[in-house]
Structure 1
Amino acid sequence: MASDVRRLPGPFSFGAGKADTHGVERVVLMVTHHLASATRLADIVHLVEEDHRVQVAYTVPPSSRYANGAHDYLRDAGLWEMPWSQAVELPWDLVVSAGDGMLERLHGPIMTLTHGIGPNGYVDRRDSPGPAAPRAIPGFGQQALTMYGRVISSAIMLGHEDHLPMLAAACPEALPASVVAGDPCFDRILASRGRRTAYRNALGASPDQQVVVVSSHHGSESLMSRHPELLTTITRELPSDRYRVVLAMHPNIWSAHGKSQIRAWFSASIEAGAVLLPPEEGWRAALVAADLLFADHSSVVCYGAALGLPTLLAPFAAEDVLPGSVFARLTEMAPALDPKSAVADQLDEALRAWSPANAATLRAQLTSVPGGAAREFRRVMYRLLGLAEPRTEPLTRPVLPPRPLEPLYR
């Protein structure tokens, strides 16, 4: 984990004139609360970091229990992490975050985006002696969006026009800062479809095998928490000559328990032929490569179903589902698993019951700017920076091939 005492030089301090050898005109801070937010920022950072007028730095606020995952990601990726104590003392031309928490301490125009598909459920209700209260939509409540009598963000990036009335109901003061800009994550998934064969090869899937992605969110209601036995037995239940099982666990699971422990828990599955993906990337390529999806209440299952994957849902708590959300619509289309019945039979039934029209319906509800998120995000980023946009068209790059983890004990 990065120390909070080693201050960074460069175009961030009074000595910037001596340290800067490139003539930087603007400085941008990427705020990574946890690993999931860090990977989402990776979808858009290229829109500014390739500009020779711009310098990008990263920081991790001490507001998330999963902050260790962000520190590890920045270190391993070779990204320039600034101590939080230094970041809050400096002026920034643009601050970008895919999470909330402590952003009001930073100085500069702030742009926020979700680290999932957007409003999909509610914040968890904590155990405490006090009476129950209504649960907010993550990232949409007054507590997340306002502080000291002001809206924290200058630009709140939304994926769909349907999110506007939700924001207006939860925090009407934030509505003037909202921008319907689409979903850069889903755009990259769509841009990757031409690489399906390469992704399947990277996963070790033969032409005769069906790739089944098995995904778990994090928390007490997740598949891994409620039905861990399914994650470890599904490889044995599905014949290896017909199926290639790919396991994709939410990054916060890895941050909470450690990479070595997760690999140990799934070591028997890997040795039996399953593929375990690392937390940083790989799940999107796996969705493109897949034929079937088995997942719980999460963004992953919504992305996969919108891509066109026949889907089997893990058991979920109905009270956690936001009415009118993409996941709520998916529950009307996809069957839910019966833990007491054979998984293979239920996957076959999910395949037979799936209609291509389902994907079109979900996709229309997921983004209002299909394929255009890079354009919209860059436009807003450069408006806040006060710079003219580059003349070249912004790129939406395909995701990298998956890199399955090796067995821990080999």
Structure 2
Amino acid sequence: MRRDPDLRTVRPVRQVLVVADNVTAMTRLLDVVDLFEGDFRVGLEFAWNSADPTPNGLADLFAAKGVFPLPPEEIGDSRFDLAITAGHSGLSGIRAPIVSVPHGIRYTKVVPEAGSRKPEAGSRKPEAGSRKPEAFGLSRDLVVHDGVPIPSAIVLSHHEQWARLRAAAPEAADVAHVIGDPCYDRLRASATWRLRYRRALGADDGETVLAISSTWREESLLGEVSELYERLLAELPVDEFRLVAILHPHIWYQHGPDAVHRWLAPHERSGLLVVPPERGWRAALVAADQLIGDHGSVTAYGAAIGLPTSLAAFPESRVAAGSAVAVLGSLAPRLDLAQPLLPQLQKAAAEHTPAKAAAVHEMITSCPDEAADRLRALCYSMLELDEPRTEPGVPPDTTAGLPDAPWPWRPTAMYVTGSVHSGRSVALDRYPAEMLRPEQIPSRSHLVVAADHPGRRMRAVADIAVLTDATAWGRHARTWLSDALSAQPGLQLAAAVDGGTCTVRTRSGEQVRLSGTGEPALHASAVFEWLAAGRDLADLSPGLTVNGHLVSVDLH
């Protein structure tokens, strides 16, 4: 619906159109539009580029941002002083100088076949005859029409990209500007929040946060080795690793968020945190200690900030030679799924050097930490306005997209083995039950299952049932403890977690409350192993430690 200009309160002197092709492009543009903050002279309008076939999720992102997009038909009917886009299609109808900004790390993926894309009427004319594979976004038919560059300014992050653009389309190179990478600069600015992000992930100093990044299409990590998530959850120690999955937004919006969560539901119950497509991925990378990925931009970003990186999928033929991703492919080890994974990750971490990170970093940007200043100067120059007095912001990411409660990334069904030492210490090892094949179930283990776990049979054979949200139950949590033991004859213990406290009830009606800095659900297993060792509940030591954490014991 058209907006009546006579009803405006603020009347900007310049109008900027932000053209979003899809969610991926919009998340990149959000790093750019804040460059205009505080300037009443500049008005921003947002619009979906209808030439892109993947608008799913974009309306929700517009709404979350608090903007009211123009209908696509109004783009060609209105004049703007500047248009900013992170895409390539549908630009010929825009009546404004166009600034084309990077969509991820630019020029890293090769177009499958010259001329295989459907050309845009009037602006994409594949050249006749065969030609060498080109990096997507670099080909002449995307940036030049009738010998004239389509964008008025092409933003590049590296001088190497400018050289390749000049070789492919000299006219376009004449309007190119090397300003750096705004997204990468935000990632670097977020480094100071590392401990905050790790806290949101529930990661202690001694625990390893492992990020698993997948781009889209069939040759990606998710497309090629979807079983990797199950393997990692089954093989990596639960209490030593936090696993975080970062999936390209096109995965979410080609298949739908429902499909993504349905496919990964058992993995999420087993400890995998899946960050949403709009936010959280940079925070996850900063929090991470190690990374598994593919040929996507996120993997290269993670390697560039210093993460020991292993590649689970890497289609050499789809990677542009000389790009940052190609450099990553020459340095990072390949993960062998035919072999145990933990030793490979340990080897990758041991052999990682700062020089590897530096090599990728140097190919991502020629102007580290300068993109905001350079890009704002370019935009204001094209608008013929003086820049605002305030410096352009490059804030750290918030914790949006990371969990705000401790249970979602913990396995909700676990096999646990343990031992009691010297009457004062209990050591426990845990394994996600849903990820283990029968032959992988450790001997002499007990099964701990959350009360809300969807598996009926698994709940029925549990040794310990855990009410993970006892806070919400209030005083009724005590009743649940008794009811759970009465309803399940095979249940040995019932436990209720309330914040950092775990109340455990035995079949004989004895109760103990344990609290400490470790995960509360561990305390129920500690009680189980204590009793299994032939000890009395009343003898639980006030100086008890569970997996090295001191636990307070209150018998009542």
Cα distance between partner residues in 2 of 1:350 and 1:376: 37
1:135 to 133, 149, 162: 133
Q: Structure 1: how far apart are the matches of 2:255 and 2:129?
A: 31
Specify the code of the residue in structure 2 equivalent to 1:243: F
1:310 matched to 2:308 = yes
Structure number with bigger Rg: 2
1:8 to 2, 12, 16: 2
Secondary structure (helix, strand or coil) at the match of 2:251 reads helix
- Answering whether residue 61 of structure 2 is matched by residue 73 of structure 1, we say yes
Percentage of matched positions with identical amino acids = 36
Contact kept, 8 Å, 2:293 with 2:313, in 1: the verdict is no
Q: Partner residue of 2:324? A: 326
TM-superposed CA distance for 1:285, in Å, is 0.6
Give the gaps of 5 or more residues in structure 1.
1-6, 11-15
Q: What residue is the counterpart of 1:4 in the other structure?
A: none
Alignment of 1:146-225 (within 5 A): 146-225=144-223
Match of 1:97 among 77, 85, 95: 85
- 2:102–2:181: 8 Å Cα contact kept in structure 1? no
* Range that drifts further, 57-66 or 371-380: 57-66
Relative to structure 2, which stretch is displaced further, 353-362 or 302-311?
Answer: 353-362
SS in 2 for 1:103: coil
* Residues 133 and 72 of structure 1, relative CA distance in 2, 3 Å threshold: farther
* In the alignment, structure 1 residue 45 sits paired with structure 2 residue 33: yes
Is 2:15 aligned against 1:27? yes
Comparing 337-346 and 244-253, the one that deviates more: 337-346
Offset of 1:27 from its aligned partner? Answer: 0.9
Q: Secondary structure at the match of 1:266?
A: helix
Counterpart selection for 1:346 from 331, 334, 344: 344
Q: CA RMSD in A?
A: 2.0
Q: Deviations over 1:360-395 (max 9, x none)?
A: 222122111111100000001101111111122212
Secondary structure of the residue aligned to 1:309 is coil
Does the C-alpha gap of structure 1 residues 335 and 372 become closer, same or farther in structure 2, counting only changes over 3 Å?
Answer: same
SS of 1:188's partner is: helix
Return the alpha-carbon distance in structure 2 between the equivalents of residues 120 and 65 of structure 1.
Answer: 22
What residue number does 2:51 align with? 63
Equivalent residue, structure 2, for 1:239: 237
Cα distance, 1:351–1:402 mapped onto 2, change above 3 Å: farther
| Contact 2:147–2:171 (Cα < 8 Å) also in 1 | no
Q: 1:63 to 1:232 in 2, by over 3 A?
A: farther
Aligned-partner Cα distance in 2 for 1:23–1:341: 64
1: CA distance between counterparts of 2:11 and 2:53?
A: 38
Say if 1:160 and 1:368, in contact at 8 Å, map to a contact too: yes
SS in 1 for 2:230: helix
* Alignment-derived partner of residue 113 in structure 1: 101
Larger RCO of the pair (alpha carbons < 8 Å, separation 6+): 1
Q: Aligned letter for 2:2?
A: L
Q: Distance in 2 between matches of 1:49 and 1:82?
A: 20
- Larger CA deviation: 68-77 vs 214-223: 68-77
Most deviating of 133-142 and 305-314:
133-142
**Within 2, Cα distance between the matches of 1:153 and 1:246?**
37
Which stretch shifts more, 383-392 or 147-156?
147-156
**1:3 matched residue in structure 2:** none
Aligned to 1:257: 255
1:245, 1:275 within 8 Å by CA — same for their partners in 2? yes
Deviation at 1:91, TM superposition (A): 0.2
Secondary structure of the residue that 1:123 maps to in structure 2? coil
In structure 1, the residue matched to 2:70 is 82
Give CA-to-partner distance per residue, 1:260-305, whole Å, 9 cap, x none: 1111111111111111100001111111100000001111111101
CA distance in 2, matches of 1:45, 1:237: 43
Which runs of structure 2 are paired with 1:354-393 in the superposition (5 Å)? 354-393=352-391
Instruction: Give 3-state SS (helix, strand or coil) of 2:227's partner.
Output: helix
Q: TM-score, length-normalised on structure 2?
A: 0.69
Q: Secondary structure at the match of 2:197?
A: helix
C-alpha separation between the residues in 1 aligned to 2:44 and 2:117?
40
Relative to its length, the structure with more strand (as a share) is: 2
Q: Which residue of 1 aligns with 2:284?
A: 286
* Number of the residue aligned with 2:493: none
Q: Indicate the residue corresponding to 1:228 in structure 2.
A: 226
User: Aligned to 2:219, what secondary structure does the other structure show?
Assistant: coil
TM-score (norm 1): 0.92
Count residues in correspondence.
397
AA aligned opposite 2:159 = E
Partner of 1:13: none
Asked if structure 2 preserves the Cα contact closer than 8 Å seen for 1:203 and 1:403, the reply is no
- The separation in 2 between residues aligned to 1:94 and 1:257, in whole angstroms, is 34
CA deviation map 1:293-319 (0-9, x unaligned): 000111111110110000001232211
Q: In structure 1, how many angstroms separate the alpha carbons of the residues matched to 2:52 and 2:363?
A: 30
Q: Do the aligned partners of 1:224 and 1:231 also contact (CA within 8 Å) in 2?
A: no
CA distance in 2, matches of 1:363, 1:127: 31
**Distance (whole Å) between structure 1 residues aligned to residue 47 and residue 391 of structure 2:** 29
Residues 305 and 382 from structure 1, CA distance in 2 versus in 1: closer, same or farther, beyond 3 angstroms? same
Partner of 2:142: 144
- Please give the secondary structure, in 1, of the residue aligned with 2:46: strand
The range that moved more, 112-121 or 211-220, is: 112-121
Contact 1:26 1:54 in 2 (8 A): yes
Contact between 1:120 and 1:322, CA under 8 Å: does it hold in 2? Answer: yes
Structure 2 gaps, min length 5:
119-127, 410-451, 455-556
Once residues 183 and 285 of structure 2 are traced to their aligned partners in structure 1, the CA distance between those partners, rounded to angstroms, is 12
Q: Give deviations 1:307-357, integer Å, cap 9, x for gaps.
A: 000000123221112111111111222101112112212111110111012
**In 2, Cα distance between the equivalents of 1:131 and 1:156?**
27
Structure 1 stretches of 4+ moved >4 Å: 130-133, 405-410
Structure 1 residue identity aligned to 2:3: P
CA shift for structure 1 position 8:
2.9
Give distance in 2, aligned partners of 1:191 and 1:76: 23
